[in-house]
Chain A
Amino acid sequence: MLRKILCGAGTLGASLFAATAAMAQDGPIKAPTVEQMAGMVDKGDTAWMLISSALVLMMSIPGLALFYGGLVRSKNMLSVCMQVFMIVSVAGLLWCCIGYTMAFTSAGSPFPMLFGGLSKAFLAGVDGTTYAATFSNNIYIPEFTFVVFQMTFAMITPALIVGAFAERVKFSGLLVFVVLWSIIVYYPMAHMVWYWAGPDFLVDAPTDAGYLWDMGALDFAGGTVVHINAGIAGLVGCLMIGKRKGYPSEPMPPHSLVMTMIGASLLWVGWFGFNAGSNLEANGVTGVAFINTMVATCAAAVSWSLIEQFHHGRASMLGAATGAVAGLVAITPASGFAAPMTSILLGFIVSPLCYFFVVKVKAMFKYDDSLDVFGVHCIGGIVGAIATGIVAAPSLGGQGVFDYYVFPAAFDASTYDIGAQVFKQIKAVLFTLVWSGVGSAILFFIIGKTIGLRPSEDDENQGLDITSHGERAYNM
């Protein structure tokens, strides 16, 4: 999804040219009509993108719900599951109403670099015969496929946030927050990072792109839009909602690390749809993103376990699962740009940094980020986003960056400048931290003062399963 880039001199280049050659003897068609696009759709791409969409849904439910649910006390298990489940459902509806048009159009917007217009509100004008661009000239996928794939990202991102203030949030206040946060923070972020006119149109409309895309920031599958965005929102939320009653003096051990392990594993599997699917096609780069996602995760799980072995003398299942998620987060922005061996290095590096935040920084500053959304997603996302500028370098085996300001798109490995790219990555990270941090703070403040964000002390003591939802996770 991140549409800036495609890449590789080898695999990608070959598929790009093969595809264009198949199009017409005179080379690719600039600005094709909808009728011409209909002939530029590949069944393999479409099938892969539909499967990827379902895989990303599986990351949220049951993956994330179980990963988080296992970490809370049994009296709050269903509250976490229900929060994730309902956020997914509400975000899907909102995406159709206003999300897609705000993220992936530009016409009619007063600030087209920041967010889109309303031309596709309620999916107006989108049907079975309209198409969305990929990263290759003259390759399209059915627009509904693109809408639903992007929808799954809009579902999981707000769901990630709830881990930061698990066990102590008011259900109604949370859902209102999610609706407003999606509109004010997520859709603009998705627009700024992922919206662009597409490879067949950009050359005639070189400024028709989101702010961060235009700046040249790379984010293959959502390091900024999803992980930093959700991670900082989580930190702001846990600070503003406050600590759980009894934290940190009362023990609050996870109630089922088996669930957490199952959830982390489902996240890992689903993440192939997230990262490799973000290529929007099924080609060589998709394979690059897939293997990078696999090996970075292995490396991060191993390195977290090694740290625990040295620090505490025993490697824990929770540590391995946490490391795996940190690795998945870190490789997300880099997945389509890195090479397997640089992905492994990235995986090895991200775990110690996240570990430091989860174990040391959290204790030092005494904030109650219950399930370490900030420590794992925000920090892992920042590490990945900045490292993307390095591992994408063709000189390090990376895939480099395509030039879409010419037609057809051109690739020149020698123009890649690591220093300049890292600088752009850092700017994108800081921008995301500020946009989401400030936007989230305002929303938490307003909702806290009106609907309220916190259940009563008694309700919190008794557990949110019974007091918010009227049911128990385990009747035995």
Chain B
Amino acid sequence: MKFIIAIIKPFKLDEVREALGAIGVAGMTVSEVKGFGRQKGQTEIYRGAEYSTNMLPKVKIEVAAADDLAPKIVETIQQVASTEAIGDGKIFVLDLASAVRIRTGESGDTAL
């Protein structure tokens, strides 16, 4: 099993969710996060006091998937979330040791 973490631009979330649904992803976890990478921060000005924010808002998607579906997921997210501009985000793939469905106690691929 693989655990996929994708950091994307917030406005791409709906498109990514739909595209992943279409290739058979049954669930995901989404959170609003802040961070920085190569993208420049923004300057905010309040009554002349300038603050440069280098932490930009992003959305983090976490998906656990069977080994055979994982490459498809990565490819889909990469294509759908891309705007070909700096700040589109990153995708990380980790090996997943186990997964348990709390309601039934099932584990492994069937728990996903």
Contact = CB atoms under 8 A, between A and B. Distances in A.
Interface of A: 248, 251, 253-254, 308, 312, 314, 316, 318-319, 322, 355, 358-360, 363, 372
Nearest to B50: A312
Contacts of A254: 46
Contacts of B86: none
Nearest to B53: A251
B52 to A, nearest CB: 9
A372 B44 contact: no
B46 A358 contact: no
Contacts of B51: 251, 253
B45 A312 contact: yes
B47 A248 contact: no
B105 interface: no
A248 B50 CA distance: 11
Contacts of A319: 47
Contacts of B94: none
Interface in B18-66: 44-49, 51
A42 B103 CA distance: 75
A264 to B, nearest CB: 13
B48 A316 contact: no
Interface residues of B, number: 7
A248 B49 contact: yes
A360 B47 CA distance: 10
Contacts of B45: 308, 312, 314, 316
23 contacts: A248-B49, A251-B51, A253-B44, A253-B46, A253-B51, A254-B46, A308-B45, A312-B45, A314-B45, A316-B45, A316-B46, A318-B46, A318-B47, A319-B47, A322-B47, A355-B48, A358-B47, A358-B48, A359-B47, A359-B48, A360-B48, A363-B48, A372-B47
A312 B50 CA distance: 10
B21 to A, nearest CB: 28
Contacts of B48: 355, 358-360, 363
A234 to B, nearest CB: 15
A251 to B, nearest CB: 4
Closest 4 CB pairs of A and B: A359-B48, A251-B51, A358-B47, A312-B45
A312 B47 CA distance: 11
B112 to A, nearest CB: 30
Contacts of A360: 48
A358 B49 CA distance: 9
Contacts of B49: 248
A324 to B, nearest CB: 13
A308 B46 CA distance: 10
A263 to B, nearest CB: 15
Nearest to A319: B47
A354 to B, nearest CB: 10
Contacts of A314: 45
A251 B45 CA distance: 11
B44 to A, nearest CB: 6
A253 B43 CA distance: 12
Nearest to B44: A253
Contacts of B47: 318-319, 322, 358-359, 372
Contacts of A318: 46-47
Interface in B57-104: none
A285 B49 CA distance: 41
Contacts of A308: 45
A313 B47 CA distance: 13
Given A253-B44, A372-B47, 6 more contacts: A308-B45, A318-B46, A318-B47, A322-B47, A359-B47, A359-B48
A253 B47 CA distance: 10
Contacts of A359: 47-48
A322 B46 CA distance: 11
Nearest to A257: B46
Find the residue from B45, B46, B47 having the highest chain A CB count within 10 A. B47
B49 to A, nearest CB: 7
A476 B18 CA distance: 28
A316 B46 CA distance: 8
Nearest to B52: A251
A253 B46 CA distance: 7
A358 B47 CA distance: 7
Contacts of A358: 47-48
